[in-house]
């Protein structure tokens, strides 16, 4: 096994490779940029008064979601492991085709509109006969980056479905810092959340709302995200998947679909009722998982956890590893671990679980996160090696259920019934355990902290 230590130096990370305690001549440079870490705390305070709270989800018969009279739009999902998942969109007249990151953790549709070192092509509004500009500038800050752009509208088409063409709000990004990612192959971001968190304000209608309002497509979409877990030094291997707009594709999942309530219409905000390792609970108060929110976010790679939860999970994982030396620095995210290709001892690592609120009172269902998902492949520049980092990270803005979880499941964003569904994805069925409903633990009522109380406590804490 090779160990690779990562040291921060300004925005770069210098990687020094050791085998046992012997220094290998040479230093490799490895730039690790989080896919997206939004400054969500500022955003949540701005939109509090605009968020619609949902008492409970509508629980229709599942067949109601599969309305044969409504059209389904299917788009292939692509990407590079750990760098996000994108679909192809045609923008303008004639269509300019770009790869756009699908992000359920934001609401703006924004694309590169100027040259950038990490972007192979960009949107040129002046070459579109249907582009209409506005005098509105948009600024979006991230914890480790930002972008500036100008809001306009243009025609947007999903190439696989020409009848999907609608006029939508688009921000042309003219300047950015640490937003675009080298090698990611996407040139913009498609925010699929609610207008409550759109920038500069909620009057900006998100693309998906425009699609639903301008066509006969139902207010529901679903995603299958697939990433290989043993890649070696082959940088040409891609992530894949599918996005279904307007409904569900039953051919992409196995077994029963489990739904949890969307609590508020801003992010896809759900309730985590418990978390644990190898079937044993972390035994934390339920509110620790959900303050100040728990969101399902396809634009974030890791499972991001509140600091207290993150620390408890890391210490629990470290104590349950069998016959494999794993340094603390691996769990802290400052060290990679590498094995010969095909010899990664996944079976020596425990399985993590996440329980979500079920549709019935005082029930939950369990999502399992096997080591093949939370031990994330990265390019360690080690010939003949598979190199990995942890797929968990700490958060100051609540729980973010990112790709590390979503890659195991077919995820349905059923907006018309205020719920998010999970079923085992057919690209992960050999490693993800089946879910089932179960009576929740005694701390379930602690999760039912209403929105006003949560925000009062948040402001009181910041006093």
Q: Which of 181, 121, 120 is nearest to 147 (CA)?
A: 181
The model carries a pTM of: 0.83
Q: What is the reported pLDDT for 110?
A: 97
Q: What is the reported pLDDT for 224?
A: 95
Out of 32-41, 198-207, 344-353, give the one with best mean pLDDT.
198-207
**Nearest-angstrom CA–CA distance, 337 and 327:** 9
Q: Residue 219's pLDDT band (boundaries 50, 70, 90)?
A: very high
Distance of CA 134 to the CA centre of its chain: 30
**Nearest-angstrom CA–CA distance, 257 and 260:** 10
Q: Residue 16's pLDDT band (boundaries 50, 70, 90)?
A: very low
Q: What is the reported pLDDT for 31?
A: 26
**Nearest-angstrom CA–CA distance, 24 and 44:** 47
pLDDT at 295 over 70: yes
Q: What is the reported pLDDT for 387?
A: 86
103 is a catalytic site residue = yes
Lowest-confidence pick of 161-165, 237-241, 266-270: 237-241
Tokens 């691996």 belong to 330
**pLDDT tens digits along 29-66:** 322 223 333 333 333 334 434 566 655 554 554 545 55
pLDDT at 199 over 80: yes
Q: Residue length, the chain?
A: 463
Q: What is the reported pLDDT for 68?
A: 56
154 is a catalytic site residue = no
Distance of CA 145 to the CA centre of its chain: 17
| pLDDT-above-70 percentage for the chain | 75
DSSP string covering 188-244, please? EEEE-S-GGG-SS-TTS--HHHHHHHHSS--SEEEEEEE--S--TT-TT--EEEEEE
Residue of 154, 209, 274, 297 with catalytic role: 297
Q: What is the reported pLDDT for 335?
A: 86
């Amino acid at each position: 096994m090779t160990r690779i230590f990562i040291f921060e130096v300004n925005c770069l990370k210098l990687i020094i490779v050791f085998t046992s305690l012997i220094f290998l001549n040479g230093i490799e440079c490895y730039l690790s940029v989080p896919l997206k870490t939004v400054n969500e705390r500022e955003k949540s305070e701005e939109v509090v008064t605009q968020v619609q709270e949902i008492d409970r989800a509508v629980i229709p018969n599942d067949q109601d979601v599969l309305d044969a009279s409504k059209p389904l739009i299917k788009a292939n999902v692509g990407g590079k492991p750990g760098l996000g998942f994108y679909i192809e969109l045609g923008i303008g007249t004639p269509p300019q085709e770009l790869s756009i990151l699908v992000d359920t953790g934001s609401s703006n549709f924004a694309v590169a509109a100027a040259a950038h070192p990490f972007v192979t092509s960009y949107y040129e509004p002046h070459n579109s006969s249907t582009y209409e500009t506005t005098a509105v500038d948009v600024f979006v800050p991230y914890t480790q980056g930002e972008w500036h752009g100008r809001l306009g509208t243009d025609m947007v088409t999903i190439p696989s479905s020409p009848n999907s063409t609608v006029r939508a709000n688009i921000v042309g990004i003219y300047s950015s810092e640490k937003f675009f990612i080298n090698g990611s192959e996407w040139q913009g971001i498609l925010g699929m959340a609610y207008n409550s968190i759109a920038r500069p304000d909620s009057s900006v209608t998100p693309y998906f709302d425009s699609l639903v309002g301008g066509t006969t497509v139902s207010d529901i979409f679903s995603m299958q995200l697939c990433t290989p877990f043993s890649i070696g030094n082959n940088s040409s291997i891609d992530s894949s998947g599918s996005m279904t707009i307007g409904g569900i594709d039953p051919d992409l999942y196995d077994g029963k679909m489990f739904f949890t309530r969307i609590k508020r219409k801003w992010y896809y905000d759900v309730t985590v009722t418990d978390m644990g390792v190898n079937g044993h609970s972390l035994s934390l108060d339920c509110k620790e998982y959900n303050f100040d929110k728990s969101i399902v976010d396809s634009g974030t790679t890791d499972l991001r956890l509140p600091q207290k939860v993150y620390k408890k999970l890391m210490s629990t994982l470290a104590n349950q590893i069998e016959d494999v030396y794993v340094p603390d620095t691996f769990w802290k995210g400052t060290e990679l671990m590498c094995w010969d290709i095909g010899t990664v001892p996944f079976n020596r690592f425990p399985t993590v679980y996440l329980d979500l609120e079920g549709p019935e009172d005082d029930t939950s269902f369990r999502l399992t996160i096997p080591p093949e998902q939370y031990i994330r492949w990265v390019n360690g520049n080690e010939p003949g090696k598979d190199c990995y980092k942890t797929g968990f990270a700490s958060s100051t803005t609540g729980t973010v259920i990112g790709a590390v979880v979503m890659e195991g499941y077919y995820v349905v964003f059923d907006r018309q019934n205020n719920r998010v569904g999970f079923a085992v994805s057919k690209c992960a069925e050999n490693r993800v355990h089946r879910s089932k409903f179960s009576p929740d633990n005694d701390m379930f009522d602690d999760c039912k902290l209403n929105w006003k109380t949560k925000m009062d406590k948040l402001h009181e804490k910041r006093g």
